[in-house]
Structure 1
């Protein structure tokens, strides 16, 4: 009976979980702002501007996509055209024409086949512009016939744009009605916004209320500049209608009852000059951009036009190059046009455009002062890791207007002051070499502080940060194994395979969630070790059968140079020590299908138990897959991880050696980087010292303070089991983490969270509350500038850490109130070492505990956890915390804080 009650409560909790935004979002531009669209259950788009992959993305998130369809007009003249609409220079159609009716129905059938959920029917009133020679009644009958047909095709999932005169005849054929211009209207002729008259407002309001009485859901689209949209949306809501306030062409992201928090930083680059994966802005600065909660939005100028800058979506522009050729006239004009629209950060080489530089508040000097040069001034808050000034080989000759402030200056031999970095009214400029200094033996260091560069120089405001390092308030722990060394004979009595040593000494011993992979050709029959294949495959099965192990492929033949396979760089096989891949008999040319698709199929058919499938692709070699490889992995239904360059240690604890979360490719493809690299880079490519992997703990500490940039990641190969020093180093690292607060998760869990960073969104409502949307991210980091949220006044939140630095999210959409005018003693979660699936005080709770569960709650002295089997777990009070211990496994139960039995 208790279990049935629990299931009922669980269902009701999930039904209540997600706040619903009733507005339909409209967006007539590209690419789709997918993250921001997750706050809405329905979106209307121009069908030609949405891709197949975006449609699939919407489908995976249960967001209904409605295609715009013009019913009464076309921009193409045809035999059905009767007149021209002078406002838009479009052709008004004859709605009685069989040709036109068939044309509209064919368009609808095509949209249905593409996967659209419904239609937004526009230009329903265009027939009213026709002269008296055309029967109004006939046109109306033709329009009703068209809508009836479309309603059948899309099962009544239609949104009407006006059509007031016909609404009584259209009831039951469409669900929604939209009208534009209740309080404002847009004039396309002169691109202006004006308020409507009171008479027009009264007339339209009466029409809309009539539509509501007829059973239509009614939404108003009005137009305003971004700063005025939320207030106008509130006015529409107060009038009794659902709002959407945007620009006149619906090409910028609008506002409903919530206003988006812009997080995207536009970063132009040119893949014909340098692929994104090798650009400094991606390799170095993106890490801090993401840490601050912003999304690097890379624009490949070789493949797409520079976008319309939308301050509702875009928080800034960053341009960083070491090439004069980067700044084309098109880029210069775009940068100049957007000065003052969003902050701009110009780094490295400067654009050779006097006009743009003058607009920025910078002017080049005409004469070159003689060297040597020495540092003159450096804003203290901008100083980075390097303790000595960089060598000044090529001084950048700058002087500033009165609107700019120098941040770094140098002095020539004749005492001329030359500005090297400046804050302007439009952002900031820092020239080379004052960004990153490279040392032959030590690697690189930031000359300036990348955090203050973005926050103080560029001016990015603090925001709540979708966090990919932390789960339930504790630093995530992931473990994964590349298949290399699986078949190596370990230096132990009995000569076991390294895979057996790792299985018995590490995997079975610790029983932590682990992602393990194999190289197909290394163990299969007919492969490199064909005679031992039966035993090797048996070892693989014994590992994959373990309940805490998830399955991955490390390819068929372990390609070493994915960068060559992707066409990014030519590599001569004669210049390599080991060829392009493992020496597999009869395999001379790499096939991406064999490496990815077929290797996954082999593992699923030959090695995994019935209840498991391969879930990950762990990239091999240089781990720089191109879009085709990423596409094949996605088509196979697996996530992908590996690559990146996070190997920072105490010899040079520089942020410049920490990679971002991942890298985008075409068609919503992402490579997720390994959070921290493997023992190979700590052991001189496994040439020794073999205990070198113990230095991983240095990386853990540097990526924790001053900024938690990465989860605990223990990433290694089977060859760590070859020698005792390697095995001891591995145990040392695991023991180090287990002695500290952590939440163990599978690598696939991290990969989902990491990828969703780029698809998560923030917004604010009229009460100044924050909203957060994400399918997988369950942690928000709180900047030091913020207060902690009021848990009792928030929704979709299970708690906040005792230090007030991490918020625990429990729903796909959460609302966070920072209003503490009403104090509450509601119990809430401070931290735990489990992944929480469901959480409700005096309601159902469920979570996964890979190790004995440890949960700390606040205001929970009277609470107890009751499992679905009736087991009770009371807490131990430690100051304001109450600590609970629950055995390993899946917990389904109830959090009872009423002091009475369920």
Structure 2
């Protein structure tokens, strides 16, 4: 019997699956991304937040709320009988009080935004004496019909087979448990059902089908048996959902989930997530491999169950012994062997846990001097550790484990520092990051190999935000700082004027431009110059390739302090907490965010454009309150992170992840690469230092493409000829290489959606991607090649087969050891695809002259809906097409289609 649930039904991708299954999930951590593969999901009502419900609604997802019609668990409930199985009251359907309760509850759920109701306990009246049942049945029917009217017949019924003839047209769906198996809660076992029970339930479900209801079976099985059981149910003609007996893990239908989440515990009482090593150093590589760091603040929330359908592993990077709370150690011991574990840094006092990962910890500390004797060849990092003054843990190898790092003590005895088993791996402190002078760091081990071979993350098609249409994405954005500054050019023009003429208008690339209200507005720092400054800003914002952003009201310098992560006094700062705006002495987030956006929209933006982004200022580390303000205003947010690498410090440890969660579905998206400030010694010079961003582009592009071409700068780059020339050189550098220009908001949407994308496999083994904004999948070589001719949602792949071009966020494809597509497909382009159907509609946006390279397209032509057509130039097996910049809508005509 299903109790106290909330049903959530989502719009079904037209291509994604023939499944009509409803998913059931009672856990606390809502897997929203995985939910998007299904027409519905049932969750516990107390486990979904208003923002999660809003997210589902914004995805066009129908939401059905649970309502128990026949029983109550309330302490003060007085029914006709107790249901001994659940210790709940079977309620009197003729009771005015109960009728009022149902109507009140239904109104509350409708007010919250639910689309319909999932009605449970419809059979409970059958537990009453026989002579009471007719009147109860009639009253129950009246209650269901009343609820149906309130929700326009959007009801889901749990069983209630005797009622169905009278409820035809009053509800949409019927679900029932236990066709092939059932769960025994007394001993947590799974039992098969009898042939007679299967025949009876099949007959009932087929009768429901004949009455016009959609029907579904929910069965229970251990993880390893779910997919096969789901297929068996589907062959019987019913939509399947197979999960665990408590419905706390993600189940299977015709689709089997691909676990992408990696549990990453942190403790905000010791260190906020943004300051942790695991976030700053390792999450980038977890994301590169296509996985999601699922951060759990162990000081505030429980750790989830070991759900193999959702979670690919656990990473714990402990920076102090205090990190290992007893509940964390207990949880790690419990899930060991169920999920792969990677323990880094400090280690817990749990001999059993450590032995499972290959270490037997010794009580006596080893004595030096030490010498390294062995490190697995695949684990070697960017530098070697100096063993001078080393105070290592002392450990020996556990039985059946493989040594990863071993040093020799002064007495010649080996001392283990890292090991792995089939349950995961452990690497002890300090064998992770070597902190060098001048704030430089190096990996002592290979973090990518450690995740792949130590944690055991298998290769998967990786959602990728660095690339679009096969070429590295190119974004430009300007922080508003120094817009009013005088530039060192004849006549001393404002920096805003110089930037407009020399960069914005000259290149006409998609660019995100922000201003600081307190710098350009009439009540700010320069009221006399404000009319001129506002006029310049208005002119910039009219450009069709410019999107508008706010850089706040007063440019707060210390968002971490605003968020409560650190405490500063005026003496701790060189220049206060914000710009020195007359009469503004205390930071007001409403004024900084909401007010600055309203100011730009009302005074500076043209009528057909609005602010679309908030670009964070100062340390660019906003907390949840600031992020919530931006979300309330309907804008995306970017900036922060600290990705900056040069040939002097070419370490993967300096590359930040895509973004950071701040709870309640709030995300900060980090700037892909840092701005000219950090390349010019905080704008103290050399002013041409921003040229070195090209070194960062190279290092973040090979051997792993970790970031797009992201040019991020301030208006003060236009105040100095050297700074302006460096900016020109950087733009020229990118334009001389394959790239796809796009607005920063385009990147930000993809970046956030990275955390809400999901993978699955169908019964044939095909891969499915569910997303909204992601446009690229990166395919590891180990997986082979996508079979493009039979794929859906893919426009093509790069010539090496590694980058797959996703058209509208969703894709379905098979993989094989080789690729031999016969139909035309896109190899690469500098355009943003809107549609790619062959035969059918092709549409895209080109911010520059469009350059498209196709395979198998000899003799083909792009034919515009406006009339013109464009042939291509053949280059070996590829055909290159050149089309005007702008929006293209038409089709690709090949052979007889012409």
TM range (shorter): over 0.9
Deviation (angstroms), 1:93: 1.9
1:59 paired to 2:57? yes
Match of 1:493 among 490, 494, 500: 490
Aligned to 1:662: 659
- Conserved? CA contact 1:375–1:389, under 8 Å: no
Q: Please, which moves more after superposition, 826-835 or 137-146?
A: 137-146
- Conserved? CA contact 2:541–2:605, under 8 Å: yes
Residue 690 to residue 820, structure 1, CA distance change in 2 (3 Å) = closer
Deviation (angstroms), 1:590: 0.5
Work out the CA distance in 1 between the residues paired with 2:799 and 2:783.
15
Residue 390 to residue 871, structure 1, CA distance change in 2 (3 Å) = farther
- Conserved? CA contact 2:660–2:667, under 8 Å: yes
SS in structure 1 of the partner of residue 482 of structure 2: coil
- Conserved? CA contact 1:88–1:188, under 8 Å: no
Aligned to 1:397: 394
Aligned to 1:841: 838
Work out the CA distance in 2 between the residues paired with 1:360 and 1:423.
5
- Conserved? CA contact 1:442–1:652, under 8 Å: no
Aligned to 1:621: 618
Match of 1:98 among 96, 99, 120: 96
Residue 567 to residue 442, structure 1, CA distance change in 2 (3 Å) = closer
Q: Deviations over 1:159-218 (max 9, x none)?
A: 111111111011111011101100011122322211111111111111111111111111
RMSD: 1.5
1:576 paired to 2:576? no
Aligned to 1:679: 676
Aligned to 1:890: 887
SS in structure 1 of the partner of residue 897 of structure 2: coil
Q: Deviations over 1:817-853 (max 9, x none)?
A: 1258996511111111000001111211111110000
Work out the CA distance in 2 between the residues paired with 1:320 and 1:772.
30
Match of 1:168 among 165, 185, 197: 165
Q: Deviations over 1:455-510 (max 9, x none)?
A: 01111111110000000000000000000111111111111111111110111000
Residue 396 to residue 305, structure 1, CA distance change in 2 (3 Å) = same
Aligned to 1:118: 116
- Conserved? CA contact 1:647–1:657, under 8 Å: yes
Aligned to 1:203: 200
1:320 paired to 2:293? no
Residue 256 to residue 758, structure 1, CA distance change in 2 (3 Å) = same
Residue 761 to residue 812, structure 1, CA distance change in 2 (3 Å) = same
Deviation (angstroms), 1:24: 1.4
Deviation (angstroms), 1:63: 1.3
Match of 1:85 among 67, 83, 86: 83
Aligned to 1:8: none
Q: Which runs of 5+ in 1 are unaligned?
A: 1-13
1:545 paired to 2:529? no
Aligned to 1:4: none
Aligned to 1:527: 524
Residue 20 to residue 600, structure 1, CA distance change in 2 (3 Å) = farther
Residue 431 to residue 821, structure 1, CA distance change in 2 (3 Å) = closer
Aligned to 1:737: 734
Q: Please, which moves more after superposition, 353-362 or 848-857?
A: 353-362
Aligned to 2:862: 865
Work out the CA distance in 2 between the residues paired with 1:157 and 1:341.
40
- Conserved? CA contact 1:841–1:897, under 8 Å: no
Spell out the pairing of 1:225-264 with structure 2 (5 A cutoff).
225-264=222-261
SS in structure 1 of the partner of residue 80 of structure 2: strand
Could you say which structure has the greater relative contact order, defined with CA pairs below 8 angstroms and 6 or more residues apart? 1
Deviation (angstroms), 1:300: 0.6
Aligned to 2:793: 796
SS in structure 1 of the partner of residue 690 of structure 2: helix
Deviation (angstroms), 1:595: 0.5
1:456 paired to 2:453? yes
SS in structure 1 of the partner of residue 786 of structure 2: coil
Residue 495 to residue 318, structure 1, CA distance change in 2 (3 Å) = same
Aligned to 1:880: 877
TM-score by length of 2: 0.97
Work out the CA distance in 1 between the residues paired with 2:522 and 2:495.
19
Match of 1:815 among 809, 812, 815: 812
1:337 paired to 2:334? yes
1:364 paired to 2:361? yes
Work out the CA distance in 2 between the residues paired with 1:537 and 1:391.
60
SS in structure 1 of the partner of residue 671 of structure 2: coil
Q: Please, which moves more after superposition, 891-900 or 497-506?
A: 891-900
Aligned to 1:374: 371
Deviation (angstroms), 1:40: 1.7
SS in structure 2 of the partner of residue 875 of structure 1: strand
Q: Deviations over 1:523-579 (max 9, x none)?
A: 111211111100000011111111100000000000001111111000111121101
Match of 1:32 among 30, 33, 54: 30
1:503 paired to 2:500? yes
Work out the CA distance in 2 between the residues paired with 1:557 and 1:855.
44
1:273 paired to 2:266? no
Work out the CA distance in 2 between the residues paired with 1:147 and 1:889.
55
SS in structure 2 of the partner of residue 826 of structure 1: coil
Residue 346 to residue 18, structure 1, CA distance change in 2 (3 Å) = closer
Deviation (angstroms), 1:594: 0.6
- Conserved? CA contact 2:366–2:393, under 8 Å: no
Aligned to 1:142: 139
Deviation (angstroms), 1:402: 0.9
Match of 1:705 among 702, 707, 710: 702
Deviation (angstroms), 1:388: 4.5
Work out the CA distance in 1 between the residues paired with 2:149 and 2:268.
47
- Conserved? CA contact 2:783–2:816, under 8 Å: no
SS in structure 1 of the partner of residue 271 of structure 2: coil
Match of 1:421 among 396, 415, 418: 418
1:474 paired to 2:448? no
Work out the CA distance in 2 between the residues paired with 1:514 and 1:500.
16
Q: Deviations over 1:669-724 (max 9, x none)?
A: 00000000000000000000001000010000000000000000110000101111
Aligned to 1:7: none
Q: Which runs of 5+ in 2 are unaligned?
A: 1-11
Deviation (angstroms), 1:76: 2.2
Deviation (angstroms), 1:18: 5.9
Q: Please, which moves more after superposition, 440-449 or 468-477?
A: 440-449
- Conserved? CA contact 2:69–2:122, under 8 Å: yes
1:71 paired to 2:73? no
Q: How many residues align structurally? A: 887
- Conserved? CA contact 2:475–2:711, under 8 Å: yes
